[in-house]
Structure 1
Amino acid sequence: MLLRQYLGHGLRSLCLCGLLFSARGGTFLSEPWLQALACKCPRLSRLYLLNTDLRGLPSCCLLPPTLQVLELHNCELPPGFFTQNPSGTCEPDHHRAAAVSPKSPANKQLTASSPGITIQTLILDNVPSFTNQHLHSLSSWGQLARLELRDLTRMTAAGLRACAPPGLQALHHLRHLEICTIKRQQMAALGLGEGWAGLEGLGLGGREVGPGLLCLSRLPDLRRLRLCDCSLTEMMVLRSCRTLKELRTLEFRKVEFSTESGGEAEEGQEGGGEREEGEREERSDTDPVPNLRQSLVTLLPKCSVLFTECSVASVQG
């Protein structure tokens, strides 16, 4: 009924909520339904799945081949879900081919070998069954440029380290990576310690911020850095960013800055000028730590610094 009455040819983005935590249970994403979705919505480029049990689907190759963005929130996956053929193509089986009408314009697309997974952005948020093996299988995704990993309890630093180029399981096309862990101390970001050639954007959140800051000097191509949902000191930021001379954007989002009332961070202020005695540091919502911004301007002259929903907590020192 959903396909017949509400979804049409021009649909580009679709958000679906499953029954994973429902008392009814059951699976609503079946292979025939996905085939029909691909035929009815040939322009679908973004699929957002919430509370969805995908363990009844053997492979992500059954998803609409036009997808460019896939978001999985509170979902469950089967082993090998992200794996495609070594040749980089997704071969539909005879069931898939037989289910498509010969008169359908999508018939050739589904009965012939498809060009492989074309997803460019993959977002995984609280997917308990996601493992290092799932992560490694993404190396066959030739167009994956952005990967966001949030609260994945079974992913480790070793698993992430194996994905860094030029390894056999490397995510060669990846340009932006986000790692955020709120619920527990994963420290998966330590997997960046061996370096990651070609990584231009990095987001660190929650308990991944501290470990990730230790690895920034090993990311020579980094141009954009976002730190969120954490507590930081000015000294931590300045020490970690001193080597990022080519950084273009540094964003702090929902960060609580701890400043010592007895004195401000001195590192990185050379040439930036000191405040005159008695001068007060004026703060605003968009510039909660003016002294830090001044130091970063001197340290990283090519970088724009942004503060979003940040706060300051004074610590007696």
Structure 2
Amino acid sequence: MRPKIMWHLLHRYLASRLQSLRLGGYLFSGSKAPQLSTTLVQALGLKCPNLTRLYLHVADLRSVPLPCLPASLRVLELHSCEIPGSWLSHKSDSPLLQRLQRLVLHRVPSFGDEHLVGLAHFQALRTLVLGGTYRVTETGLSQGLRPLGHLQHLEVRDCTLTADAVLRVVRECLPDLRVLHLSVRDLSTAGLVYLSAMAYLEHLCFLGPPIAENLPSPGELLNACQKVPTLKTLEICGLDWEQNQEAKDILQKGLPHCQVSVRAYNPESRDWWM
């Protein structure tokens, strides 16, 4: 949506009743394309004080400082957006740092270790989703998550990090984690051992498609999940097990108190990033 139209909506229609907004930009439309401005984003916060969920798609945020975002936000999702290197690297007095509970970064190419470290200032953050953030390293993930011990929901999808590395960092840094969604890149039985140290894990999801052929078998996965007594839901997506009734039976029979779901990966599914 062009900023001119957005200004019109703000003046004529949007008001305090607005709670959720999904907005697309013009990041890939050339240097002369209209982009979000600091003034427009600040006006959105003033005119819509009850806005709690903001979803930005293909937006250029390099000229929009983080403190300019509406302080009322509880959910912020960035899909194929661009942010500056200093966006999260400095502490500010913005109430957003004390209120934001869910942050999704999906295909944000500039997001890296320095941004992860900056998340330490988000005191209310409970859900963090990293998708396609290929600049994040294991060291950066460890440094970034260590101050976020209160995090309860973590998703690491389609990144260059191995599954074993993510599991190792989660074991060390997130003692209260309840939900973990993880791509299976280079997942091994040695990595699965880290699950036994996750004392509060309730929902576990492994996401394909697998890149390597030597993934753990259903029996090996079962053995690891049986050592997580709090586990309530196990999801297997895109590992080509949905046609393998034996694999599903092994998992369900071995985890009688856990809901097991085995399904194909559907990249077109809208709830894949919700």
TM-score, reference length from structure 2: 0.80
Q: Report the CA distance shift for 1:81/1:164 in structure 2 as closer, same or farther (over 3 A).
A: closer
Partner residue in 2 for 1:190:
165
| Structure 1 pair 310–290 and aligned structure 2 pair: CA distance change class (3 A) | farther
User: Is contact 1:123-1:149 (8 Å) kept?
Assistant: yes
Distance 1:83 1:189, change over 3 A: farther
Matched, 1:174 2:129: no
Q: Secondary structure at the match of 2:42?
A: helix
Superposed, 1:113-128 pairs within 5 Å as 114=95, 116-128=97-109
Distance 2:236 2:166 in 1: 22
Cα–Cα, structure 1 residues 67 and 212, in superposed 2: closer, same or farther, change >3 Å?
A: farther
**2:46 pairs with one of 39, 43, 46:** 39
State the secondary structure of the residue aligned to 1:163.
helix
Could you list the per-position Cα deviations for residues 22-54 of structure 1 after superposition, in whole angstroms to 9, with x for gaps in the alignment? 035445322211121112111111111111111
Q: Which of 66, 69, 72 in structure 2 is aligned with 1:66?
A: 72
Distance 1:206 1:25, change over 3 A: farther
User: Match of 1:152, SS?
Assistant: coil
Question: Is residue 155 from structure 1 mapped to residue 155 from structure 2 by the alignment?
Answer: no
Query: Against the structure 1 CA distance between its residues 190 and 214, is the aligned structure 2 distance closer, same or farther, given a 3 Å change threshold?
Result: farther
SS of the residue aligned with 2:235? strand
Identify the range of structure 1 (295-304 vs 36-45) with the bigger mean alpha-carbon deviation: 295-304
Cα gap change, 1:11 to 1:212, in 2 (>3 Å): farther
1:115 Cα deviation (Å)? Answer: 7.0
Alignment match, 2:185: 207
1:17 aligns with 2:1: no
What is the aligned length? 250
Assess, with a 3 A threshold, how the Cα gap between structure 1 residues 3 and 307 changes in structure 2: closer, same or farther: same
Superposition map of 1:295-314 within 5 A: 295-309=250-264
Secondary structure of 2:208's counterpart equals strand
The answer to whether the Cα contact below 8 Å between 1:12 and 1:46 also exists between their aligned partners in 2 is yes
Query: RMSD over aligned Cα, in angstroms?
Result: 2.7
2:232 pairs, out of 237, 245, 248, with: 248
Q: Which runs of 5+ in 1 are unaligned?
A: 91-113, 258-284, 312-317
Deviation, 1:221, is 2.0
Larger Rg: 1
Q: Between the two proteins, what is the percent identity of the paired residues?
A: 35
Following superposition, the deviation at residue 56 of structure 1 comes to 0.7
Alignment partners' CA distance in 1, 2:36 and 2:164: 33
User: Match for residue 265 of structure 1?
Assistant: none
1:135/1:254 CA distance change after superposition, 3 Å: same
Match of 1:49 in 2: 56
Partner AA of 2:69 in structure 1: L
User: 1: distance between equivalents of 2:106 and 2:119?
Assistant: 16
- Superposed CA deviations along residues 256-286 of structure 1, whole A, max 9, x for unmatched, are 12xxxxxxxxxxxxxxxxxxxxxxxxxxx7x
* Native 8 Å contact 1:181 1:208 kept in 2: no
Q: Which residue of 1 aligns with 2:271?
A: none
Distance 1:213 1:52 in 2: 38
Equivalent residues in 2 for 1:231-310 (5 A)?
A: 231=210, 233-257=217-241, 288-309=243-264
- Bigger drift between 294-303 and 13-22 goes to 294-303
Question: Which has the larger share of helix?
Answer: 2
- Structure 2: gaps spanning 5 or more residues: 1-7, 267-274
Match of 2:105, SS state, is strand
